[in-house]
Structure 1
Amino acid sequence: MLHNEQSILASDYAYCEAIIKKHSNSFYQAFSFLPEEKARAVYAIYAYCRTADNCVDENDTIAAKTTALNEMVDALNRFAFNQEDDHPLWRALRDVFNRYEMDILPFYDQLTGQLMDIHFIQPDTMEAMESYSYYVAGSVGRMLLPIIASQAKEDCTRVAVSLGIGMQITNILRDVGEDYMKLGRIYLPRQEMLLADYTPAHIANYEVTEGFKVLWERMASRAEALYDEFLGKVDLFDQDSRFAVLSSALIYRAILTSVRQNGYDCLRRRNYVSTHQMIQILSEATV
């Protein structure tokens, strides 16, 4: 590769790295432990997912959201036929696809997840919530597999998808109030809310009822079972990638602990893992 091409590519990856640093400090801290080539690949994939997210989050009307998402689908179609846009994101992704045995299908699945958000319907059951969680997060696990499990002796797809779904359930449990107040969305399954005698009015009034705690813990238990499934198979991932992916799982799982410590108040406050807690988790992570 010519020096100028290397310089452009380095700039493209720096563009992607800036996006993950801005939007997800926890992921950035965890995946920065990867070897540089793998870390850059992860940053590019994250930037792709964030760009897809922005199609929905940064537009006000359904028409504008749909237009932006359709443009993203068109861009991915061009990429699939090696005719990608001349843009840092797509140039970086092309390099990732050149270096690893990537599967483009989960990249399309991610866009399906964004379409589900545009035409949002509250999930009726836990199963429906997990199906949605696959498209917006389990798909990311599949995107990353060729990078972090390139030497795996067995198929890690289920494990990676489980981790992604567990993380998305964690997002849902962290952001109950924010999702409702800012986006008008309730990701808690409708049937589970009925069983807990918990209503949208309770969310609007920031009420943490005993029923809500039971509902929250039921979903948290499912997320933790998915984390456990991943933790039991972490040795299948590449040796140079285990610490990073384990760290990301443990840091995200700790969000659930944070919500519990704050009295299950995920309605009016933002629960997060502090930098000090991250450092402690990273120091205790063993692979």
Structure 2
Amino acid sequence: MTEEHGQLLKGGIGMTNLAQLERDYTYCESIIKENSKSFYFTFKQLPKEKAKAVFAIYTFCRFADDRADQHAPASKRLHDVDQLEHDLSLFQKGYVINQPMWRALRDVFQRYEMDIQPFFDQIKGQRMDIAFERLETVEDVEQYSYYVAGTVGLMLLPIIASETDRDLTSQAISLGIGMQFTNILRDIGEDYREMSRVYLPVQEMNRFAYTIEDLSTSTINDNFIMLWEQMATRAESRYDEFMSVLHHFDSDSQLPVGYASTVYRAILNAVRDNDYQCFTTRNYVPKEEMIRLTGELSLETVQSES
């Protein structure tokens, strides 16, 4: 354990005072607020304790992603991801690195029936990005999406579905996969330009006669639109699967989680409204549209319960 990773605490939160813990959660909240306004907007509406747990989990995922995507040699990125996995292994054994994220996560694991495997799977997904290889099929993209995003759904499940006996594992994974497909379709230009990564599957690109050369010149033609829509339809089916069981989630979590699904799905329409320009423009859902969509969902939920 290097000094930069801080002192190890055995037993975790029992050795951490409550004032410090509140500061730790405030730190985690600042991370999600800075990096994902849409997630923050939706999950902030959870009950306070649940929201704090989500913020801590998001911070872990943000740290994992940042270590894989930093502008550094692959050896440095792999080293940092290895260190994160080492720290997670210590955490699994009951040790906590004396840092805000780890102290907050220990509290989350004490409050909820958490499964640590999705956290390890998330790290595996980051390794897939570091040693990136083109994905051949849509199914390959879905498998990759499980590791980097479906895992997040599993991490959140004990928090937002703590009162049901129904197995919602598949739907939680589907939400994450739908969101990752959305990220891919939103960030096609950025991923290629900044990371030299193409997440569109080889088979589908061949099927729609859209080439790497087309992508490198930011070509938006009928072939591209058909390819993009094929992937978007796959994402939307995942959102549909998730929303079909929304009523099985905790009553205090249904609307915020439904908001997250609805607002993120709306990014796809933002790209469509922008004539599929996802090479040079960062597409997003304006705050006014977020408010409108969440208002519609609230009304639908009230009507379905009445």
> Smaller-chain TM-score range?
over 0.9
1:46 aligns with 2:46: no
1:80 aligns with 2:67: no
TM-score, with structure 1 as normaliser: 0.98
Aligned to 1:140: 152
> Is contact 2:59-2:101 (8 Å) kept?
yes
1:8-19 mapped onto 2 (5 Å cutoff): 8-19=20-31
Distance 1:29 1:214 in 2: 32
Distance 1:59 1:195 in 2: 33
| CA offsets 1:76-130 (integer angstroms, 9 cap, x no match) | 0000001121000000000000000000000000000000000001110000000
SS of 2:17's partner is helix
1:173 aligns with 2:179: no
1:249 counterpart (233, 242, 261): 261
Distance 1:121 1:105 in 2: 24
SS of 2:122's partner is helix
1:268 aligns with 2:280: yes
The answer for unaligned runs of 5 or more in structure 1 is none
Q: Give, in angstroms, the shift of residue 153 of structure 1.
A: 2.6
The answer for unaligned runs of 5 or more in structure 2 is 1-12, 302-306
Q: Give, in angstroms, the shift of residue 226 of structure 1.
A: 0.6
TM-score, with structure 2 as normaliser: 0.92
Distance 1:17 1:42 in 2: 9
Q: Give, in angstroms, the shift of residue 238 of structure 1.
A: 0.2
> Is contact 2:191-2:197 (8 Å) kept?
yes
1:94 counterpart (87, 94, 106): 106
Aligned to 2:42: 30
CA RMSD of aligned residues (A): 1.3
Q: Give, in angstroms, the shift of residue 268 of structure 1.
A: 1.2
User: Which runs of 4 or more aligned residues in structure 1 lie more than 3 Å from their structure 2 counterparts after TM superposition?
Assistant: none
Aligned to 2:175: 163
Aligned to 1:208: 220
Distance 2:204 2:282 in 1: 23
Aligned to 2:136: 124
| CA offsets 1:123-181 (integer angstroms, 9 cap, x no match) | 10000000000000000000000000001131010010001000000000000000000
Aligned to 2:234: 222
> Is contact 2:69-2:130 (8 Å) kept?
no
| CA offsets 1:198-223 (integer angstroms, 9 cap, x no match) | 11221221110111100100000010
Q: Give, in angstroms, the shift of residue 257 of structure 1.
A: 0.3
Distance 2:163 2:76 in 1: 42
1:190 counterpart (202, 212, 215): 202
Distance 1:185 1:257 in 2: 23
| CA offsets 1:8-40 (integer angstroms, 9 cap, x no match) | 000000110000001100000000110000000
| CA offsets 1:27-70 (integer angstroms, 9 cap, x no match) | 00000110000000000000000000111122411100000000
Distance 2:42 2:237 in 1: 21
1:112 aligns with 2:124: yes
Distance 1:70 1:231 in 2: 36
Aligned to 2:81: 69
Distance 1:247 1:105 in 2: 26
